[in-house]
Structure formats: structure tokens, C-alpha cells
Amino acid sequence: MARISLTASVALAAPGGRNRNRLRPASHGVADFRLRSPGGPQSRCHRPAPFPALTGGDDGFHFAPEVEPVELTWRLLNTGGLVRAGKLELFTRYRKAPLWSRELSREELLQGEHRWAWDGRVPKSETFPDGVVTVEHSPYKLKLTLQGSGLAQAPVAWTFFHVLVAGVDLELGEPRVLSRPRDRELTQSLKRLPAPGEKAEIRLVGNVFKTKPSEMSDDTDHQLHRKHWGNGPELPLFARAWLKDSRGNRVDAPKALGRVRFLWDWEDETEAIEHHAPTARAFLKHALDRHCSTSQPKGDNAHRDVGGKRGAPSLAVFPRQAGYAPQAEPRDGAFPFRVTPCNKRGWAAYSRPGPQGRSRDARAWCSSPPASRETPGESPCSLPTTAAGMAAWCWMWTMMDRCPPPCAPPPASSNPGARSTSPASCARTRAPPGSRSPPYRAISNRPF
């Protein structure tokens, strides 16, 4: 067994005295160390072996930094005043160096219990740009280390806590962040995203004119729609992330999001084509099955080979945005937040959160396919209706569809010089799966 050298001053008995002066070595250590929510849950205290484990508390303790104050409590054994220094250190996974540290004062090292009111604030740094602990680096390990002389009884203790996202809500963004007036008008006409189970429509101007008979049987109308609408109208989708406080309530704590990334994904649900005429149904089945087993994302959205978005890079759905520094009012015609493609999921995109707890993310595009032959005057496509947030990820519903050239063109006019028009097309927002699917497609959210 290892020997420990200790120095002590002991009173000697007087000559002839019968009293005994017993030596009890002075010691120091951490008796308890944990985070507490006033009147609520608390974290669990850990100490190294062979010191006995303490009961009570939960390693899943979480709180909402900045908006929910908690108490860091510790109880010290320091009867002989042997503790010279103490330090608090904050760690995250996969990093040996602490993210933050704080030296304890002399008063905080005395024998007994100490309380420190803390709402998650730390000095501003590259790791914590807003001066609070964030979702980005959660979970955390908070550690207390003592240094002193004499016999050490558990000079180290630690506890764990989390900063969690409670959910993500989608909302329609401000029209002013869009650069084209026509997209602003469409956003204003929509007013809000439909609630689950609701439907909404956005009317797209689709005046298509044909000047010769051959254009009645080719894809001229498709090309004209593409020339006018490109990948489709731009609609700003904003995601508001809510954090979870110690009692499980949703609270707005935007600074605690930090620089966590939001993943925007899309997938098309299976198309309902049974209501089409046999010839049109056969054509649609052939087009929708094109490269279905080898392209991403899954679903039967038209493949990019025939003008669709399945197999296309994320820019076709979530255009890259440079963003700009947060300010009181958004700039006109400039998207305020940074959006970048996802490297592995090439059809998806990442974005960063911003002020007021919103991640004003990728502008979701809703394309304008040619008018359906089965439903004259309409060219439906879907917009997001719901979102599910898991940790830092943002799941969105959207529909980014481009229909292939029409399969059943109308008969050519007997007058070669006559011009025909296709009625205005419309973009249709739709409810979650379960209701009847309109002639093109919507998407479903899937786990990452």
C-alpha cells in the first residue's frame, strides 16, 4: 500500500499527566455537487471510486439557458482550511480541453454548502458567440476540482446537463426577403402556411401561347413554363426552434441555439395516378418509375432527366444563400440567413439559426408544372404543412415537382394560324398524407 506523508502539530501531555492527545489528520473533499432547478429536478453528482456514489438526481437534467435560472450547489469538507484552490470546468464530448473554466473565490472554498445562481451565461467566445451555453455542444459535463494539502477525500466531482430542442414550428416568412416582385406577391397571397388537415392554393400566371400546329404535340408549353418560372416560385419558409426547460415546457431561448445547423430535407410521397385515363396513366407510371431505385431522395417525383427534381442537387429546391449579419429589420430583397448544400445528402441543405429564435432557412421552391390534362386549368404542387424537430434537425414538408411533357396533347386546330392558351396554373398546398392526393405530388418527412 502506498504511504502518504502528512505533517501535523500535536499538543504534548505534561510530565506525569494522564491525558491522551489523539491525532486526527485533517482532510478536504467534495461531499456533493449538482445543478438544481428551484423547486424542480436536479442533476446527479458523480465522484471517483472508491468514494461512495450519491443518490438522487438525473443525468438527463436539462434547462433553458438565459431564460431559466438554475442553481449550482456544492458542499465541501474543509475543516482544517487545507484547500488552496478550486476550479469549475465545462466539457463537451470528444474534446479534452474545457470549453470554459472559472476559479472559485476563497469564500467559495470554505467548509459547508455553497450556492451559485447560474442561467447558463459564460464569457463570449468563438464557441459561445452569444455568451450562453448552447444546443450545439450539448450534452455537457461540469466538473469541480479542489487542490490542497492533507488527506484528500474525493477532491473531484462532476455532473451532467443538457440543452435540448423541444420542437420546431414552420411559418411563412416575410415577403420582403425575396428578390422578385412576383414571388413577393405569391407569398402575400398565401398569408400563412395551412394548418394540418387544411389546403390552400397559390395561383400562378401561366399564359402559354402557341403559334404553329407542331407546338400542339410537343413540350412547348413545358418549356415556356420553365422559361418563365425556372425551378418554380420562391416561397420563404421560416423555422422557429423552441427549447425545453427543466420541467419540459417549450420556451423561446434563441441565444441558446448557438451555431447549431438545421437540416432541410424533402421527399415526395407516392403519386396517385389511378384517376387518370389509361394512356396518361401508363405514361405517368413510366415517367415516375424512372431511376426510382437508384436516385435520391426516395419517392416518385419526376426524375431530373425529364425535368423533375428527383436526383437533382439541393440547389434546385434549397438555393444557396450567403446571408448577412443579424440586424433589427431584414433587408429588402436579400435572404438573411446562410444556406449551404449538404455534402452527403446531396438533395438536402443546411442553415444556421438567427435572432428571435428563428432559423430563416432555405427558400423552399414550389415549381409550376404544366396544366394537367385531367384537371384543366390547374397545375398543383405542394407546400410544407408540418415539421418535426429532433435535437438540432429541422424536418420540413415541401413539394418540388416538375412534370414531364404532357402525354395527351389536344388535337391541333384546324386553323394553322390560330393560337391556343392554357389556363393559369396554380400551386396547391396540401394536408399531410391521408387525404386524396392531387395530380402531382407532396412529400413526407422521414428520419435522418
Is 448 among the domain residues?
A: no
pLDDT at 9: 66
Is 9 among the domain residues?
A: no
What gap in Å lies between CA 346 and CA 21, rounded to an integer?
78
What gap in Å lies between CA 350 and CA 334, rounded to an integer?
18
The total number of structural domains in the chain stands at 2
pLDDT at 108: 93
Most confidently predicted of 32-36, 189-193, 409-413: 32-36
The verdict on 196 and 279 lying in the same domain is yes
- Measured CA to CA in angstroms, residue 39 lies from 145, 216, 235 at distances of 27, 74, 45
The verdict on 152 and 234 lying in the same domain is no
What gap in Å lies between CA 444 and CA 268, rounded to an integer?
6
- For the chain, the average pLDDT equals 75
pLDDT at 53: 84
Average pLDDT over residues 99-116: 93
435, pLDDT greater than 70: no
The three-point CA angle 186-231-446 to 5° equals 90
Q: 60 falls in which pLDDT band (50, 70, 90)?
A: very high
Give the structural domain span for 50.
Answer: 27-163
Whole-number percent of the chain with pLDDT over 90: 27
Q: How far is CA 340 from the centre of its chain?
A: 14
User: Do 259 and 251 form a contact (C-beta atoms < 8 A)?
Assistant: no
Q: Which of 163, 198, 219 is the last residue of a domain?
A: 163
Taken as a whole, the chain contains a residue count of 448
**H/E element, 256:** none
The verdict on 144 and 32 lying in the same domain is yes
Model pLDDT for residues 126-155, shown as the tens digit of each residue? 889 889 999 999 999 999 999 988 778 889
What gap in Å lies between CA 142 and CA 30, rounded to an integer?
14
Model pLDDT for residues 361-396, shown as the tens digit of each residue? 444 443 333 333 222 232 222 222 222 222 222 332
102, pLDDT greater than 90: yes
Other Cβ atoms closer than 10 A to 357: 19
Q: Which of 108, 133, 163 is the last residue of a domain?
A: 163
The verdict on 149 and 190 lying in the same domain is no
Is 133 among the domain residues?
A: yes
Is 94 among the domain residues?
A: yes
50, pLDDT greater than 70: yes
- Measured CA to CA in angstroms, residue 298 lies from 36, 60, 199, 294 at distances of 46, 35, 24, 9
Q: Is the dihedral of CA 297, 298, 301, 305 positive or negative?
A: positive
Q: What is the domain-level CATH number for residue 33?
A: 2.60.40
What are the cell numbers at 186? Answer: 405569391
The verdict on 214 and 137 lying in the same domain is no
The pTM of the full predicted model, rounded to 2 decimals, is: 0.69
Is 434 among the domain residues?
A: no
The verdict on 286 and 350 lying in the same domain is yes
Q: How far is CA 34 from the centre of its chain?
A: 29
The verdict on 129 and 227 lying in the same domain is no
User: Do 202 and 429 form a contact (C-beta atoms < 8 A)?
Assistant: yes
Is 442 among the domain residues?
A: no
Most confidently predicted of 137-141, 178-182, 204-208, 281-285: 137-141
Q: Which of 147, 163, 179 is the last residue of a domain?
A: 163
Q: What is the chain's Cα-based Rg?
A: 32
The verdict on 216 and 140 lying in the same domain is no
What gap in Å lies between CA 426 and CA 433, rounded to an integer?
20
Q: 10 falls in which pLDDT band (50, 70, 90)?
A: low
User: Which residue in 361, 357, 337 sits closest to 349, CA to CA?
Assistant: 361
